[in-house]
Amino acid sequence: MHHYNPATMKIFYGPNHQQHDPPFEGYDASGTQPSYEKAVRADSVYAALQKTDWAEFHPPVDFGMEPIRAIHSEPYLNYLRTAYQNWKSHSPVEGLAFIPGTYGINYQKTRSLSGRERSGFFLLDTTVAVTPGTFQAAMLAAHSALTGAQSLTKGDAAAFALTRPPGHHAGSEMCGGYCYFNNAAIAAQWLSGYGKVAVLDVDYHAGNGTQAIFYDRADVLTVSLHADPEKEYPYYAGYATETGSGPGSGHHRNFPMPFGTDLPVYLGTLEAAIDLILRTVPDYLVVSAGMDIYKDDPLGNFNLTQDDIHQIGCEISELALPTLIVMEGGYDLPSLGANFAAFLEPFAKMG
């Protein structure tokens, strides 16, 4: 008698992400703004996936610093490692996150500055507050993505890195948009040692960090579907005219979409992105997945339901490539876990 073995999917997650939980993300006329990127985001996704019959949880493996150094520069790593303590040497107030008050313009000439004065060189915006646990949490997220990538090389059809903080806005020497280490880029770089890699970013916001990291490279295709950056963060990148440079010319594509984008518009755009990916014949796919595409997300302006998100997951899973999905954005807490479960379920069935 044959027993049906339901498909499973490895989920790589560590609770130490909770060390990074900034109390605010910037300032407005009324004072500090609470951060949307809270620890409860990852906890809610974890709780929702626990209720499925296919999620199989595993702790991340420590890959050391080398795979992270392959993407992020030493001055930037030193900044993240020391920013909070440098600030504490000047500030008596405990428990507050560090946000620089100055930002570097003439970056190369002035990078030799130390301490507080140097910090603004590495920040795109004020959402990337540094807390005592930020560096360790970012390391854990990168290792979760790397462990997921490793599982693909061992034969898994798909894996999910439940990463927090997210990563796709982080460049080689820049943090921004809640992102510190570019988890998807770190995993893609590591996987490129095993074959050709494509990165597909379906977060609501353009993956400007991933774009910048691979912009002049031909070995990793990067594709991003997102809201029009003329009206939406990150504003300075994500345009359709940005297609790579030098050896990377033609190896990056942006697909900006208007506010109010619904499923027919999204699927039409996704089809063009998938055609592009298939033409490059990759061995591995890395998906930066953000649930801020959901209709009720406070930071999004698309009109996509949970069923729509499931359909998007189905379309991508039909590429039938070994696929690592990396968690990026998504800020509507009541729906976040269920939305990720809906997106991931088709990939679990690949196994």
Which one-letter amino acid corresponds to residue 344?
L
- Give me the count of residues in the chain: 351
CA gap 242, 65 in Å, rounded: 31
CB contact at 8 A, 14 and 125: no
Cis peptide before 234 (omega within 30 of 0): yes
* Torsion sign across C-alpha atoms 99, 101, 105, 107: negative
Q: Which residues have a Cβ under 8 Å from the Cβ of 314 and sit 6 or more positions away? A: 346
CA gap 93, 337 in Å, rounded: 35
CA gap 292, 300 in Å, rounded: 6
58 labelled catalytic:
no
CA gap 266, 309 in Å, rounded: 10
For 42, 53, 145, 204, 321, the CA distances from 14, given in Å and listed in that order, are 10, 20, 11, 25, 26
Please pick, among 20, 72, 168, 169, the residue that the annotation labels catalytic: 169
Which one-letter amino acid corresponds to residue 146?
L
* DSSP H or E stretch at residue 285: strand 284-289
First to last CA, the chain: 22
CB contact at 8 A, 287 and 316: yes
Q: Which of 234, 224, 221 is nearest to 256 (CA)?
A: 224
Place of tokens 């990916």: 277
For 66, 181, 236, 259, 309, the CA distances from 229, given in Å and listed in that order, are 33, 22, 7, 11, 22
Q: Which of 265, 264, 238, 233 is nearest to 252 (CA)?
A: 238
Q: Active-site positions?
A: 169
